[in-house]
Amino acid sequence: MYSSRKLPKIIEFFPFPLFLLFSQYMDNMWNTENQEIANSSKKKGRAIIASAIGFVGLIILLSQVFPILGSYISGKLYEVRASFMVKPIPDSHKEFIEGQFAYYNPGKSYFQNLLSAAGNSINNLTYDPVTRQLKEPTIDTAYNKALQLTILGTGISNIRITPNVESYDEKVYNLKLKSGLAHFKGTPIPGDGGNSFIYGHSSVPSFFKNNQNMPEIIFSKLDKVDIGAQVIVKRDGKDLKYIVRRKKIIEATDFSVLKTEGDKETVTMMTCWPLGIPSKRLIVVAERYE
């Protein structure tokens, strides 16, 4: 009737029904223990999932907080740095937009010195990539049609360039820069050979973070321009195409950037450095190829 397998001697002393009850009891204990282990595993799994969701949420929160905090701190550091300069920038040079400090104005004396250097900026012929011939750069001080500047991949798109701005007059250039960028009178208009000089304001990061598309401070994006970036200047309905060849920081007293280098037709773009503070200058030079 029962298995012929020999049972352990200790079990031979128990009546068989009692042995079955004992066996069922042990099975129940085993199942209960397994169930507790399974429940414990589920709880641990839920805890891990909850922790993962919380961690992802924290990362998302910090990704929003840190850039804002970083921009604010950067802006304050720039202001502090300016206050400790050997020749601190006068408070009268501070420019406010809608009640917020935006940048320091370099002042008319800077542009007066730049103007005196412009007279010696043209000293050789330049190559025209369209006609494939050398030509003499021309200074057309009567040209008064607005141009547009685009630098691909930077957010600088169709920004107005006012030509032949009287840059020695602070009231004039400040007014023109409200709508975008200024072409420095005394240098060639883009497309006329030589080195065309274009400048614009940048702002401290604490202001720029909430005003990134404001034309008045659009050159805050100039430091994001990479070598090889494509620059387009629209003039008289035609696109003049350039490629960025050089990017550098120079002293505020370095006016050599006005000069034509070699026989290349170029556009030199300038803003203050650090952004919004005129202790140095950020220069980006693009060479025309079409």
Number of separate domains in the chain: 2
Asked, for residue 4, whether it belongs to a domain, the answer is no
- Answer for the pair 189, 235: CB distance below 8 angstroms, yes or no: yes
pLDDT at 60 exceeding the cut of 90: no
Q: Do 43 and 97 reside in the same domain of the chain?
A: no
Q: Which two tokens stand for residue 138?
A: 């021309």
pLDDT at 242 exceeding the cut of 50: yes
Asked, for residue 280, whether it belongs to a domain, the answer is yes
Bigger pLDDT: 135 vs 181:
181
Q: Do 57 and 95 reside in the same domain of the chain?
A: no
Q: Do 122 and 212 reside in the same domain of the chain?
A: yes
- Span 83-139, pLDDT tens digits: 544 455 666 678 889 889 999 887 666 766 666 666 555 667 888 888 888 988 999
- Answer for the pair 232, 150: CB distance below 8 angstroms, yes or no: yes
What is the distance between the alpha carbons of residues 229 and 225, in angstroms, rounded to a whole number?
7
Q: Do 151 and 272 reside in the same domain of the chain?
A: yes
pLDDT at 46 exceeding the cut of 90: no
The set of residues, in sequence order, having a beta carbon less than 8 Å from that of 88 and lying 6+ positions away, is 82
30-44, 118-132, 236-250: least confidently modelled range: 30-44
- Span 259-284, pLDDT tens digits: 888 889 999 999 999 999 988 999 99
Q: Among 26, 48, 64, where does a domain finish? A: 64
Q: Do 170 and 268 reside in the same domain of the chain?
A: yes
Asked, for residue 79, whether it belongs to a domain, the answer is no
Q: Do 202 and 112 reside in the same domain of the chain?
A: yes
Q: Do 151 and 273 reside in the same domain of the chain?
A: yes
31: amino acid identity, one letter? N
> What residues form DSSP beta bridges with 19?
none
pLDDT of residue 29: 58
Q: Do 34 and 112 reside in the same domain of the chain?
A: no
pLDDT of residue 260: 83
Q: Containing domain of residue 205, as a range?
A: 91-288
pLDDT at 45 exceeding the cut of 70: no
